[in-house]
Amino acid sequence: MLPLEETLTNLDIYLGDACNLRCIQCQCWINESAPHFDPDVLEARLFEAVEYAATQCRSFEKVMLIGGEPFIHEGMVRFLAKQKIDTCITVYTNFVWPDPNVVLPDNVYFLSSMDAPNQEIYGQLRRTRDFDYSQETMRERSGQLLHVDTTVSKGNLHHLDSILDRTKDHGCTHWFLPIDPRILRYHDAFVKDPRLGTLTERATAERTAKRAQVLLLDDDDIRVVEDFYRRCGSARTNDFETFLGIYLSSVDRFKKESFGYRPDLSVRRPNVGAQQCPGIRRYMEIGFTPDGRFIPVIHCPELTEIFDAKQGPSADSFVEVMAWENQARRRVGCQVFCGHTQFLGIDEYEGTFREVMLD
Ligand SMILES: C[S@@+](CC[C@H](N)C(=O)[O-])C[C@H]1O[C@@H](n2cnc3c(N)ncnc32)[C@H](O)[C@@H]1O
Ligand code: SF4
Ligand code: SF4
């Protein structure tokens, strides 16, 4: 297997769950111990990781900063504003920024979520009055906006045309992705082991999971989405087959959970083999401990099983993280595409998701 320095194209940097919204389908905002990093430490860590990727990895394409909401971290904003690194840096943001006037260099681009066409639906799904503000910030930054994702649920299913319409002048791609039941799993983990959450976290997770459950998509909804693609699909959007493949992968991913997500469906996943898996060759994710040490995030389910963990050992330098990643990835031998991996930004995944089928 080639060293990761030869093949890495995408580095995702996860800034923890802290967020300024309370979206009904997402668990990030429920986590009361989500880290708020020391700005100086975060700024220095981001310089270290991104400079390494940009200078030492010969096929490198782009960084994605994601949370929670990245723009609430002062250290990240400072890093973005100061850096002149020769690589593409994307930030996945809800555009509800504490400082909409911040000046950012031209190598900084945006990815965003947009699940509502108006304040009424935004209020139901994202539960603040920030719709106009987020749209205005998005419009002002549209020159640097690469991509928008809409999480499709029963809460916006009949408004997909007008949601797509909102980005037509921005020159960005716009994907539609199915809601998954991650918040139900989050709540279930608290039920199984109440020590995992505070009293407030457990109560909030229970209430939110109940509200999200009624938003999950059924077969009739999938047909509505198919019809939407037939009418409105274009080079700017993903296609229905990709949407369906992502939906089915998530059905497969959550099939062992006790809340019984679509037990009627049995899914077949394509063969890829570890050597072909873009996640293993090209993709890497890191996070940070609350005091700012690096953590390698394990996104490959086979590696999660091998290490019985979702993250590698914390490290004081990015060089150490890369050394651990290089060792760990050699141990993978899977044959079947797991559909668990990130796909945003790696085109190879789009084709693979199209091959996920009903058995
Ligand atoms: C977790 S957010 C982080 C970035 C930023 N806070 C935002 O919302 O744009 C990243 C993406 O995950 C999506 N997401 C959250 N919960 C989801 C769920 N249950 N199913 C599918 N997508 C979900 C959001 O809609 C958003 O597009
Ligand atoms: S804005 Fe993003 S991270 Fe925050 S709660 Fe909503 S989906 Fe989750
Ligand atoms: S389990 Fe998934 S992430 Fe891991 S090598 Fe196989 S396809 Fe890739």
User: What distance in angstroms lies between residue 107's CA and the mean position of ligand 3's atoms?
Assistant: 31
Residue 169: inside a domain, yes or no? yes
Residue 95: inside a domain, yes or no? yes
Please choose from 94, 208, 211 the residue to mutate so as to test ligand 2's pocket, defined by most ligand atoms within 8 A of CB. 94
- Measured between alpha carbons, how far is 195 from 163 in angstroms, rounded to an integer? 40
Same domain, 5 and 129: no
SS3 percent helix, strand, coil of the chain, rounded to 5, is 45, 15, 40
- Measured between alpha carbons, how far is 178 from 200 in angstroms, rounded to an integer? 28
Question: For position 344, what pLDDT does the model report?
Answer: 74
Same domain, 222 and 358: yes
Residue 204: inside a domain, yes or no? no
pTM more than 0.95: yes
Q: Is the Cβ atom of 339 under 6 angstroms away from ligand 2?
A: no
At 206, is the pLDDT very low, low, confident or very high (cuts 50, 70, 90)? very high
Residues near ligand 3 with C-beta < 6 Å? 272, 274, 277, 279-280, 300-302, 332, 334, 337-338, 340-341
Residue 172: inside a domain, yes or no? yes
Contact 64, 109 (CB under 8 A): no
Residue 201: inside a domain, yes or no? no
Residue 248: inside a domain, yes or no? yes
Residue pLDDT, tens place only, 36-49 = 999 999 999 999 99
Atom of ligand 2 nearest to the CA of 17: 3
Number of folded domains in the chain? Answer: 2
Same domain, 69 and 176: no
Residue 206: inside a domain, yes or no? no
Same domain, 8 and 89: yes
Residue pLDDT, tens place only, 132-180 = 999 999 999 999 999 999 999 999 999 999 999 999 999 999 999 999 9
Same domain, 357 and 257: yes
176 SS3 class: strand
Cα–Cα distances (Å) from 141 to 8, 82, 148, 169, 207, in that order, read 28, 18, 13, 12, 35
- Measured between alpha carbons, how far is 104 from 127 in angstroms, rounded to an integer? 29
Residue type at 359 in one-letter notation = D
Same domain, 263 and 129: yes
Same domain, 118 and 266: yes
Atom of ligand 1 nearest to the CA of 25: 19
Question: For position 275, what pLDDT does the model report?
Answer: 80
Question: For position 341, what pLDDT does the model report?
Answer: 78
Residue 101: inside a domain, yes or no? yes
Q: Which ligand is nearest to the CA of 337?
A: 3
Residues near ligand 1 with C-beta < 6 Å? 19, 25-26, 28, 66-67, 69, 92-94, 112-113, 115, 149, 151, 177, 179-180, 182-183
Minimal CA–CA distance to 320: which of 351, 286, 352, 272?
286
H or E stretch at 91:
strand 88-93
Same domain, 229 and 306: no
Cα–Cα distances (Å) from 59 to 85, 316, 345, in that order, read 15, 25, 14
Q: Is the Cβ atom of 21 under 6 angstroms away from ligand 2?
A: yes
Residue pLDDT, tens place only, 65-102 = 999 999 999 999 999 999 999 999 999 999 999 999 99
Nearest CA to ligand 1 atom 15: 26
Please check the confidence at residue 324 and state whether its pLDDT lies above 90. Answer: yes
At 273, is the pLDDT very low, low, confident or very high (cuts 50, 70, 90)? confident
Q: Is the Cβ atom of 164 under 6 angstroms away from ligand 2?
A: no
Beta-sheet pairing, 88-93 with 62-66: parallel
H or E stretch at 108:
strand 108-113
Same domain, 30 and 131: no
User: What distance in angstroms lies between residue 94's CA and the mean position of ligand 2's atoms?
Assistant: 7
Atom of ligand 2 nearest to the CA of 25: 7
Mean pLDDT, range 227-255, rounded to an integer: 97
Same domain, 87 and 164: no
Please choose from 277, 335, 348 the residue to mutate so as to test ligand 3's pocket, defined by most ligand atoms within 8 A of CB. 277
Same domain, 230 and 251: yes
Mean pLDDT, range 340-352, rounded to an integer: 83
Range of the domain at 162: 114-181+216-270+343-359
DSSP-derived secondary structure for 282-350: HEEEEEE-TT--EEEE---HHHHHHHTSSB---BSSHHHHHHHHHHHHTT----B--S-S--TT-HHHH
User: What distance in angstroms lies between residue 26's CA and the mean position of ligand 1's atoms?
Assistant: 6
Minimal CA–CA distance to 122: which of 91, 161, 150, 92?
150
Contact 84, 117 (CB under 8 A): no
- Measured between alpha carbons, how far is 116 from 160 in angstroms, rounded to an integer? 8
Same domain, 236 and 287: no
Contact 66, 92 (CB under 8 A): yes
